[in-house]
Structure 1
């Protein structure tokens, strides 16, 4: 296969998970098991040794389960990824995601700053659930770190800290105390601080208009951060995820760890709200459904606005690789009763997730919820 014919995406820099086009990957499928998906942690030498052992065992198990024709295709695909599975991690890399298919001439290699679950799957389409869960937990957010003289604006993307802007003002050189009274000096200094914070707000407004972020963490020492939070216009104030104390010269790791804690707490709160919204709609017979079949039908009809899933949900079933009929809790028949096409065993939750991506529905993962758990961890809020 000519290298130039390959659809290759290989990142040699860290890639935020939000930058991976998951919707495009959800559109990819075949009637045969030809798409290999590999997720490997790469943070340490111990990971490397365990990765070699894991990939070797999984490759043998997968190949032993394939027909002669698919064995050859699988070997070709493994040859494609061989140089990428165990190559030296780049600085900051904690995980690696590979999607590959020899028949589709497809090779995606993504290096990420997050530690991923170890997984290797051969299926009729890329295996996207681990990536989807990481995207749910690690959507992009901003951090504004400031005091009364300096402001630093960052975007945190999958634990990658991007410096967006840096503003500073030398208040004491602009307003020397000299022979002024303490009261007048303090009044002038307060006015200068307010002017500086107004400049910071305009910078944040401009920067946020170009970024799709979950929200903004406001941090710093002293009272300047609280004063700025109060001065923010409504559209920015409602984006604040939290306000916390941090030194203005905090190292990157400390900024990311503190920001992650607040952003993840905000995500958990949003998930709880979605689950409550689902329960409320179900109680009053409104725009919501529970269970695999009702959710599947709503997605197929384009009625589902938000697919709500328990994060650890897994439901065995099968799919027709030709007409995409999905059935849960059943063994795959020899051929699809609807179209006669080939069938494959699947995790129905993965298939519902891909269907949501293809139909433009949002997806919300919930840590725990008794109502969802009673319906195999699957439900949906409807558009109509």
Structure 2
């Protein structure tokens, strides 16, 4: 399918969270020929500039050599369109860059990221999305609430980009005049003020979380206020808490993101393990699950997959017909599709299964090798029916 008009040109001048990239719309794009050019590059540091040029020059030469004269001419036009964006100097804080381009469709996307990407350069019948999918899995949006008994700051972290969304504070009457309230009455009033303040924080957190639609919430800060706040949160917000960490209120933003990222990472590993265990149990008991590339391909094509589980770093060779989307695994591509006679292309089957999951609205979870999937069965699926 050709890209729609709104998708033809997207060029980010500033840093963009990976969750803002419309990966589902990109997964809908494909052609019958290898005309879509995809580049992933790390761009922070002067050493990357030199290494990227060597890498890009080498891959471009290899691709040109493998193409027919017609497709070579098309590729050269596409590369000329993308080249300025490939080697443009990074903006402040930029660590990675993704570029998708196709000259014949006047299609150019340039994304500047605050997270580093691995080098990859691919020419295919569609934008190459698997590296982006892995980044999306590693960098979910989440909220951080830094709180003590006097102050609360809500920060949204998106692909390591932190933006403060809410800041509340109160005066707790830490000083009072001699001959004024008794110490007991003062302490009672102070506790009441703290509870009132934390109740206000709890109400604000719920509204902010609902608005931002984050994966979850990390609660951070010194002392006992964190637990007092937890007791005041609504049940749905409490269930979204990823973890609680002890840090000082004057912690730097970078340190806060680093500490919170570790909580998110542990939560993601736990979630992946639970999904893998669910897959294993369903298969052992004959439930709604399949594993193995060909069986997963079939249920994805039928739109039956609720969750696609993919072994991290996996790759499976195969081919696809770009006319009818006939997908075959671990075999050499014929000159023509045996279904419709259309042109065939060599592909990474895992990439195609991921794109099919996006098109059919399936959730995707990347899992570690020890979590049931292995090099023989790199994908599994929990089914809707």
TM normalised by structure 2 equals 0.96
In structure 2, the residue matched to 1:50 is 51
Asked if the contact 2:74–2:103 (Cα under 8 Å) also holds between the matched residues in 1, the reply is: yes
- Find the residue that maps to 2:219 and give its secondary structure: strand
Asked if the contact 1:143–1:218 (Cα under 8 Å) also holds between the matched residues in 2, the reply is: yes
Cα deviation digits, residues 238-289 of structure 1 (max 9, x gap) = 0111111111121111011011000011011000000000000000000000
In structure 2, the residue matched to 1:115 is 116
- Find the residue that maps to 1:322 and give its secondary structure: coil
In structure 2, the residue matched to 1:319 is 320
Cα deviation digits, residues 308-339 of structure 1 (max 9, x gap) = 11011110111111111111110001110000
CA change 1:284–1:374 in 2 (3 A) is farther
Tell me the distance in 1 between the aligned counterparts of 2:192 and 2:78. Answer: 65
1:125-204 to 2 correspondences below 5 Å: 125-172=126-173, 179-204=180-205
Asked if the contact 2:277–2:372 (Cα under 8 Å) also holds between the matched residues in 1, the reply is: no
- Residue range with higher mean Cα deviation, 178-187 or 135-144: 178-187
Asked if the contact 1:322–1:341 (Cα under 8 Å) also holds between the matched residues in 2, the reply is: yes
Asked if the contact 1:336–1:342 (Cα under 8 Å) also holds between the matched residues in 2, the reply is: yes
- Find the residue that maps to 1:171 and give its secondary structure: coil
Tell me the distance in 2 between the aligned counterparts of 1:216 and 1:174. Answer: 34
- Find the residue that maps to 1:183 and give its secondary structure: helix
Any unmatched runs of 5+ in structure 2? none
Asked if the contact 1:37–1:121 (Cα under 8 Å) also holds between the matched residues in 2, the reply is: yes
- Find the residue that maps to 2:37 and give its secondary structure: strand
- Find the residue that maps to 2:373 and give its secondary structure: helix
Asked if the contact 1:5–1:105 (Cα under 8 Å) also holds between the matched residues in 2, the reply is: no
Asked if the contact 2:311–2:378 (Cα under 8 Å) also holds between the matched residues in 1, the reply is: yes
Q: Establish whether residue 80 from structure 1 lines up as the match of residue 78 from structure 2.
A: no
- Find the residue that maps to 2:99 and give its secondary structure: strand
CA change 1:182–1:6 in 2 (3 A) is closer
Asked if the contact 2:276–2:371 (Cα under 8 Å) also holds between the matched residues in 1, the reply is: no
In structure 1, the residue matched to 2:207 is 206
Asked if the contact 1:318–1:326 (Cα under 8 Å) also holds between the matched residues in 2, the reply is: yes
- Find the residue that maps to 1:373 and give its secondary structure: coil
Cα distance, 1:211 vs structure 2: 1.4
In structure 2, the residue matched to 1:225 is 226
- Residue range with higher mean Cα deviation, 151-160 or 246-255: 246-255
In structure 2, the residue matched to 1:349 is 350
CA change 1:5–1:208 in 2 (3 A) is closer
Cα distance, 1:231 vs structure 2: 1.6
Instruction: Calculate the aligned-residue CA RMSD, in Å.
Output: 1.6
Asked if the contact 1:296–1:352 (Cα under 8 Å) also holds between the matched residues in 2, the reply is: yes
- Find the residue that maps to 1:371 and give its secondary structure: coil
Tell me the distance in 2 between the aligned counterparts of 1:184 and 1:239. Answer: 37
- Residue range with higher mean Cα deviation, 223-232 or 177-186: 177-186
In structure 2, the residue matched to 1:289 is 290
CA change 1:30–1:48 in 2 (3 A) is same
In structure 1, the residue matched to 2:238 is 237
Cα deviation digits, residues 104-148 of structure 1 (max 9, x gap) = 110000000000111000000000001001101111000000111
- Find the residue that maps to 1:111 and give its secondary structure: strand
TM normalised by structure 1 equals 0.97
In structure 2, the residue matched to 1:376 is 377
Asked if the contact 1:315–1:376 (Cα under 8 Å) also holds between the matched residues in 2, the reply is: no
Asked if the contact 1:175–1:189 (Cα under 8 Å) also holds between the matched residues in 2, the reply is: no
- Find the residue that maps to 1:376 and give its secondary structure: coil
Asked if the contact 1:241–1:262 (Cα under 8 Å) also holds between the matched residues in 2, the reply is: yes
